[in-house]
Amino acid sequence: MSKISSIIPNSIIIENLSKSYNQSIKSKSNYIIENINLNLKGGEFFILLGPSGCGKSTLLNIIAGFIQKTSGKLLINNKDVNKPGRERAMVFQHPDDSLFPWLNVKENVEFGLRMNKVNKEERSAISNKYINLVGLAGHEKKFPYELSGGMKQRVQLARVLANNPEILLMDEPFGALDAQTRRIMQRELIRIWSETKKNIIFVTHDIQEALILGQRIGIMSKSPSASIEKIYNVNFPYPRNITSSEFNEQYENLLADLEEETHLGLKEKVIRIGGGHI
Ligand SMILES: Nc1ncnc2c1ncn2[C@@H]1O[C@H](COP(=O)(O)OP(=O)(O)O)[C@@H](O)[C@H]1O
Ligand SMILES: [Mg+2]
């Protein structure tokens, strides 16, 4: 009894998790990620921030159950996990990787529900709800080729939400969008999260995006042997004001940490600071 009451719904516990894509070579540098530790309670909006190639997608794919960890622990709802499950869903960077081009918006959103034998009326009610939620009402009959990148990404999000996973894994989902659409999607995601209280792990290499979205931000060091070096709490309220002094202060802290991790050359630092970050 005491064991059951101690279970946190949608919790994700990761302990000393490591991954090597080549297990035949037993050298230390062979680990892409090494000794990752992370403890998420249900309903959190957690950001994984790190330099390109450090192993963010690798970690997310392990949590999704798409690839296997080499060692360590991954517990979801206190259960060992090593394959995909209906409580988890991934939103990929490129919606074209997941949308079916021969299905229209509504059919794409209903796809998982159909696979799960949800009846027609219920399917339609659920898909309408999520199509509305992502702001795509009126576009139900359009096919992916008739949609902009931002609209396709919304379809992917609606489809994932329609399946009602408790845990959303998002791998740089807005990375390919233009700045304006990205802002809109970020706002919508905050609204969806605050309405549904899903557990979200959102991967990005963009500090501003991390600070706009996250309650906590985990900073990954670069690979090989990448780990989560530091976790920041972002305590100021939503919507985050990107021109506020607290936002900029946290931005500078994160930038300093990331630069330490990536060992950027002076030239790149000057361009990034000179180019502005707002
Ligand atoms: N399937 C794979 N086989 C071998 N190496 C891989 C595979 N997937 C990723 N890697 C390597 O793992 C490292 C981390 O990749 P990835 O997890 O995609 O990083 P990120 O998402 O942070 O950019 C990279 O060096 C990449 O080349
Ligand atoms: Mg990646």
Helix (H), strand (E), coil (C) string for 206-249:
CHHHHHHHCCEEEEECCCCCECEEEEEECCCCCCCCCCCHHHHH
Of the ligands numbered here, which is closest to the C-alpha atom of 50? 1
| pLDDT above 80: residue 29 | no
**Cβ proximity of 220 and 32 under 8 Å:** no
Q: Calculate ∠ Cα 208-148-64, nearest 5°.
A: 60
CB distance 56 to ligand 1 below 6 Å: yes
pLDDT tens figures, 99-112: 999 999 999 999 99
CB distance 52 to ligand 1 below 6 Å: yes
pLDDT tens figures, 204-221: 999 999 999 999 999 998
| Full set of structural domains in the chain with CATH | 2-87+165-274 (3.40.50.300)
CB distance 55 to ligand 1 below 6 Å: yes
pLDDT computed for residue 200 by the predictor: 96
